[in-house]
Amino acid sequence: MDKTQEIMQQVRRIEMQARRVATTTFAGQYRSSFRGQGLDFDDFREYLPGDEPRFIDWKVTARTGTPYVRKFHEEREQALLLAIDASASMHYGSAAAVDSKLEYAARIAAVLAWSAVQNGDKVGLLLFGCRPHFYLPPAKGMKQCLRIVREILSVPCNGSDDSIDTVATEILHTQRKSAMCFLISDFLTTPDRQAIGKLNFRHELIPVRVNDPYELELPITGRFYAQDPETGEQYLVNPTTEMRAAHSKAMKAHAVEWERTFTQLGIDYLSLLTNRDFVTELRKLFSRRSRLFSR
């Protein structure tokens, strides 16, 4: 079987799984979890405790002597942008997981894309960390979903990690209208609060951190060969107990640094391992956001 046939088989398999999950699990949650692209003015009403002060209409308030706020209705249709890290490190998959990180990201992207299309939204794709980067403008329809999965699975393993600032700048350049943006990466780069902040200011950002379990905890197998995914260079590693502990501590500290960045900016995020099902965590994300926007 050649590479093209293998990829198409993967696409069809992921398509069937994504259709089922999007239809049975996220049919209603997706729509209630994310805001539309904008708000259109509807009417005025009296101010109530807890209302946003920025919506107070001072002219009406001055005329009536009672605080009034502007009411809006939501413009429901929106765009979903899937920004996927396709750097060499994302092609890694250990014996502890069925999928590589990139294949795992493709399955997440497929579920999100099908959910968006079923709700009448457009969905687009940005692949970064590869050379050249690939951008597919948001569009509707099932063919767009299949194209997105196919592009993710067929991206060449020929790039190194891009800085988060570079990625944020490219997203802001290619996606000028406000969109819901899922940024899926292993985030094995330096946290950049300013870059994440400017991206979140324009778009509704949801970072999804994807890691292989062996990245976080070195396997207890004695000596083994490790390969740098970006240079191809191999190393013979014989990790001691101290080395394993130091590696685990460093990876946890790096994860905490990223999580602190997201939390300080008020950004909801997911941290996933490729040997675990992502559907449960995605459902929890949708539930959190549904409760937030129903208040």
- pLDDT exceeds 50 at position 280: yes
- pLDDT exceeds 70 at position 278: yes
- pLDDT exceeds 90 at position 65: no
Q: Which two tokens stand for residue 131?
A: 């050379």
Q: Which two tokens stand for residue 112?
A: 């999100």
Domains of the chain: 3-33+77-293 (3.40.50.410), 38-75 (no CATH)
More confident residue, 256 or 1: 256
pLDDT, one tens digit per residue, over 141-154 is 999 999 999 999 99
More confident residue, 200 or 293: 200
pLDDT, one tens digit per residue, over 149-185 is 999 999 998 878 899 999 999 999 999 888 999 999 9
* Predicted pLDDT of residue 37: 47
* Predicted pLDDT of residue 149: 96
Find all residues with CB under 8 Å of 141, minimum gap 6, and list them.
Answer: 117
pLDDT, one tens digit per residue, over 70-85 is 765 555 568 999 999 9
- pLDDT exceeds 70 at position 36: no
Lowest mean pLDDT among 26-35, 151-160, 182-191: 26-35
Work out the pLDDT band at 1, boundaries 50, 70, 90.
low
Find all residues with CB under 8 Å of 271, minimum gap 6, and list them.
Answer: 209, 211, 255, 259
Upper half-sphere CA count for residue 233 (Cβ side, 13 Å): 3
State the average pLDDT over residues 107-130: 94
- pLDDT exceeds 50 at position 288: yes
The candidate with the shortest Cα–Cα distance to 123, out of 81, 78, 179, 178, is 81
Cα four-point dihedral sign 249, 250, 251, 256: positive
Residue 164 sits at the vertex; the CA angle it makes with 160 and 170, to the nearest 5 degrees, is 90
Distance of alpha carbon 279 from alpha carbon 20, whole angstroms? 12
> What average pLDDT does the structure give for the chain?
87
State the average pLDDT over residues 112-122: 91
Contact 257, 194 (CB under 8 A): no
* Predicted pLDDT of residue 50: 64
State the average pLDDT over residues 260-269: 95
Distance of alpha carbon 182 from alpha carbon 130, whole angstroms? 18
State the average pLDDT over residues 29-52: 66
- Calculate what percentage of the chain has a pLDDT beyond 70: 89
pLDDT, one tens digit per residue, over 204-245 is 999 999 999 999 988 877 787 777 776 778 888 888 888 889
Cα four-point dihedral sign 57, 62, 68, 71: negative
- Other beta carbons within 10 angstroms of residue 92's beta carbon come to 19
